[in-house]
Amino acid sequence: MSHTIIKACECPDLNNAVLKALVRTPFNGAPYVETIELDLCEVYYDPEWEKNQIRQAGTQRQDKEAILEDLRLGIRYNQTPPIIIYNHEKGRWELKDGFHRFWSLLQLKQKRWIFDVHKYDISESFSPEKYSIRDIDEDLKLGANGIHPPSKSSTDKDFIAVGIEKVKRGSVPKTKKGIRKWIYSVPSNFSKNTKETIMTNIYKATVSAEYIKSLDLTQAKKIIKEKTIYTTGGKVDTEGRIGRVVNASNDLYTLRAFKMLLQDYVKHGKTTNYIFYSSSALDAKEVREEREQAKTAADTFHALCLDYTAKFNETGVIPYNIVGALSQIKKTEKDMVLVPFVEKGEDDSTILKKDMTENILRKQYSTSTFTLEQAFDAVRDERYKVSDFKNERSFEGTIRRELQCLRDEGTLKFVRVGVYRFN
């Protein structure tokens, strides 16, 4: 909705249909009561409000200027007014949300404005038996930030900082369930995954910190370097073994490390020392479970490599066939669905080299079977003329793949291990 022009010293219309139709956000312990018109001088405005902001990023000048310029254009009736609560002890209205806008109204010399009135009600709070006015004020500020453009929304860091303090002083239970319940009780635009991340960070900084030593990769490497004889990062230790530190929190980390282990082994023929750590475990039970899962994953990958090699030696079949890639480059691939791969460093004519292999073999074995070794011997001289193979292993691997492609296309038939014939 566009702005409605409000002249200097003029007050917005309380009876505006859009304003009256607004649905108010339910805040912990501070339900909405009504919207009223007040002189700005009747509302207590904390002069230290910028210092007392809960936002971890602080108050930025550009944010204040943006809100000021927005109010110069008038009022947005589809935006909830600043929030006030009456302090009965001090006998005054106190501003609880909308500090940027209130500051802007003062700069614009406005005399009166409209405000949403809320009231404290502990019985409607997140935890009536433990919550205080301070807790309610914190939740109100967190939940209100971002519901009125162009304000700066509360960040996940804001929620984490407030949540940590609440857990420490006992307003929020020291459990995952309790922290999660509080997070979901405060209005926000966070996704479920972000809320779970917030919960994890609060739990780690409070509950876990009492029982678990938090580690990241840098910290883990430092400990190993300073307090053990082992190495990390693929370096060789005093015993001639290669060292690697692995995050046990996810099997993907173990798989990535195992790939490097294979590369190390092929290159050096040495054993790799694995040292695990956990970056995400929240309690002792999870630490132990992640360690065991990481060890099991490494053992499983090793066994799979042995089975893979045995099967390959038995059948000679390469277990993967890269057909191509889906076309995505509009200018050069617009008429294609699948884009074929060509050998690195060669032009598109390499696509035809498989056909060369087929033609050579057809001339000699069009009606008879042939072995893999016979195929190598038949095409070796001609293929070496047109392809720059690194070594014999590279040549044999290429021919194996081409034979498999011909089989998959229906050109060749796999008779038995290492024996083929043309259909």
Beta bridge partners, 48, equal: none
| pLDDT tier for residue 414 given thresholds of 50, 70 and 90 | confident
Half-sphere exposure of 27 toward its Cβ, with a 13 Å CA cutoff? 30
Residue recorded with tokens 């001609």 = 382
Select from 22, 31, 161 the least CA-distant residue to 81: 22
Read off the pLDDT of residues 62-96 as tens digits, 9 standing for 90 and up: 677 888 888 888 899 999 999 999 999 999 999 99
Q: Compute the C-alpha angle 92/96/98, nearest 5°.
A: 120
Select from 279, 218, 271 the least CA-distant residue to 243: 271
pLDDT higher than threshold 90 for residue 298: yes
The pLDDT, as a whole number, for residue 9 is 78
Distance between CA atoms of 95 and 131, rounded to whole angstroms?
20
Select from 251, 250, 232 the least CA-distant residue to 297: 251
Collect contacts of 218-222 with beta carbons under 8 A, ≥24 apart: 220/245, 220/275, 220/277, 221/245
How many Cβ atoms from other residues are within 10 Å of residue 234's Cβ? 15
CATH code of the region 343-422: 1.10.10.10
Distance between CA atoms of 400 and 407, rounded to whole angstroms?
11
| pLDDT tier for residue 214 given thresholds of 50, 70 and 90 | confident
What are the structure tokens assigned to 362, written together? 């057809």
Distance between CA atoms of 72 and 319, rounded to whole angstroms?
68
Residue type, 332: T
Question: To the nearest whole number, what is the mean pLDDT of the chain?
Answer: 87
The pLDDT, as a whole number, for residue 340 is 72
The pLDDT, as a whole number, for residue 147 is 53
Select from 124, 132, 155 the least CA-distant residue to 57: 155
| pLDDT tier for residue 406 given thresholds of 50, 70 and 90 | confident
What does the DSSP assignment read for 310-350? HHHHHH---S-----EE---HHHHTT-SEEPP--TTS-GGG
The pLDDT, as a whole number, for residue 299 is 95
Read off the pLDDT of residues 242-275 as tens digits, 9 standing for 90 and up: 999 999 999 999 999 999 999 999 988 889 999 9
Matching CATH topology for 17-154 and 343-422?
Answer: no
The pLDDT, as a whole number, for residue 52 is 59
| pLDDT tier for residue 373 given thresholds of 50, 70 and 90 | very high
Q: What percent of the chain has pLDDT above 90?
A: 54
Distance between CA atoms of 129 and 29, rounded to whole angstroms?
12
Residue type, 130: K
Read off the pLDDT of residues 305-347 as tens digits, 9 standing for 90 and up: 999 999 999 988 888 888 788 888 777 676 778 777 765 544 4
Cis preceding-peptide flag for 150 (omega within 30 of 0): yes
What does the domain layout of the chain look like in residue ranges?
Answer: 17-154, 217-315, 343-422
What is the Cα Rg of the chain in Å? 35
What are the structure tokens assigned to 90, written together? 């001090």
Q: What is the dihedral of CA 288, 289, 290, 292, to 10 degrees?
A: 90
Was domain 17-154 assigned CATH 3.90.1530.10?
A: yes
Q: Compute the C-alpha angle 247/251/253, nearest 5°.
A: 40
Q: Can you give the pTM of this predicted structure?
A: 0.60
Q: In b/e form, how buried is each residue of 292-325, taking b as 16+ CB within 10 angstroms? A: ebbeebbeebeeeeeeeeeeeeeebbeeeeeeee
Distance between CA atoms of 338 and 334, rounded to whole angstroms?
10
Give 190's DSSP letter: -
Distance between CA atoms of 160 and 169, rounded to whole angstroms?
14
